[in-house]
Structure 1
Amino acid sequence: MSKTAIILGATGLTGSILLEKLIANNYYKKIILFSRNSVTNTSTKIEEHLIDLLKLEEYKDQFIGDEVFCCIGTTGSKTKNKKLYKRIDYGIPVSAANLAKQNNINTFIVISSMGADVESSMFYNRTKGEMERDVLQQNIKNTFILRPSLIGGKRNEFRFGEKIGKGIMSILNPLFMGNLKKYKMIHPKEIANCMQILASKTENERIISSDKILTIANYKE
């Protein structure tokens, strides 16, 4: 069966890897991208819409597919204005879920974060928790929320705090075993692989913790 995927955030660290995986997957005939910037890949599978993602709801007629992969996210250092931050990290995924519901798209997969909690006193964690809550309220049949720990890999932009964190985590990673495995730094390739697998399989869990992401990503049939 040929499928159409929608990706939000295909120019980001995880989204760009996911795009390459879906292009290589023969099950996908079309990959629709909603982005601010163009991707470098010239595959004929790609249908690209360069838009203001904060106005995503205006593109309902183009938001047609079988699966939605939402890889949108920002940081406090990149987006210092909290109102704008929330419009990105909360508003875009929730708008995408709302459009998916309206257009009868039955699979919605979004990257959140470890520590997401609607009751958290931390703005970042609370915003992610509110996003998760309101995405789930759309009651899309196959909704999966991924909660990765610190994401490794090399970004196109420099993030000082994240660089320090990655350096520390690379040393501590071997120590995270058993119940602590969910705290291990995770590679974006593993997140992208997990997203692709979840789109074609049925899971009982809607919230996918970082250790479960690793398990799914590295599963061999």
Structure 2
Amino acid sequence: MKKKALVAGATGLVGQELVKELLDSRVYDVIKVISRRKTPFSGIQGVEEHIIDFEKLEKYGTLVADVDDVFVCLGTTMKKAKSRKKFVKVDYVYPLKLANLAKEIGVKQFLIVTAIGSDRDATFFYSRVKGKLEEELVTLDFPSLHIFRPSLLVGKRRDFRIGEKTAEWVGKPFSFLLIGPYEKYKPIKGKYVAMSMCAIAQEKSSGVHIYESDKIRQLGKVLLQDN
């Protein structure tokens, strides 16, 4: 019997790649996409697009009720959010609300993208928010929780982010210097993250699992070769 998935954040780089991977996998007969705006997958067979108000997530319990796997790729930047309060809403409040809803309904597997360096005691505000979110998710005690911590994401985005694009242009020529313990800081393709999420969701492993960027890249490369 095929499964059902729910994806939050399908307009972003990883989210778009993830929906494509889930469709290509043929493991899921229904992929529910929840978003604040129209996604590139509207009208595609096998995808249910739901435009929702994330401020009222608790009203959408029926969307989560019958899914097997929840994938969360929500995220923004400080520049786009324009304030710490709005950033926290997108990167902490909304994912945690969705996680609580999924836990209450009995979802067995929860997979989420955070970021490299996530730590509630980190110097950088961005990393502290991500770290606090991870800690809260662990306390929910999902049967299966998978946390993906990519470094700088590269790939074709729906929206152009000059800061990230500049970092990509500057960082690529020096990537070869990032070896050994520093390899996880290399920029990583959003497609590798999506492929890894899709593949790991099929392993049915229990407990809490954290994947650093270098491990995600390695798995992504292997999966790409297998295809």
Give the TM interval when normalised to the shorter protein.
over 0.9
What CA RMSD, in Å, does the superposition of the two structures yield over aligned residues? 1.6
Query: Segments of 4+ in structure 1 off by > 3 A?
Result: none
Counterpart of 1:62 in structure 2 is 63
One of 116, 132, 140 as aligned partner of 1:130:
132
Distance 1:137 1:152 in 2: 31
Single out whichever of 81-90 and 35-44 deviates more from structure 2: 35-44
Distance in 1 between residues matched to 2:91 and 2:207, nearest whole Å: 26
Aligned residues: 221
Question: Does 1:16 find its partner at 2:16?
Answer: yes
Query: Unaligned stretches of 5+ in structure 1?
Result: none
Q: Does 1:206 align with 2:209?
A: yes
Q: Summarize deviations over 1:55-84 as a string: whole Å, max 9, x none.
A: 212211221200000000000100012112
Distance 2:36 2:58 in 1: 15
The answer to which of 188-197 and 149-158 deviates more is 149-158
Match of 1:36 in 2: 36
Q: Is the helix fraction higher in 1 or 2?
A: 2
Matched residue, 2:168: 166
- For 1:95-106, what aligned pairs fall within 5 Å after superposition? 95-106=97-108
Using the size of structure 2 for normalisation, the TM-score is 0.92
Letter in 1 for 2:50: H
Separation (CA, whole Å) in 1 of partners of 2:35 and 2:174: 35
Alignment-derived partner of residue 218 in structure 2: 215
Q: Work out the CA distance in 1 between the residues paired with 2:38 and 2:23.
A: 16
Instruction: Tell me which residue corresponds to 1:80.
Output: 82
Unaligned runs of 5+ in 2: none
The residue identity in structure 2 corresponding to 1:199 is: A
- Partner amino acid, structure 2, of 1:207: I
- Structure 1 residue 134 displacement after superposition: 0.7
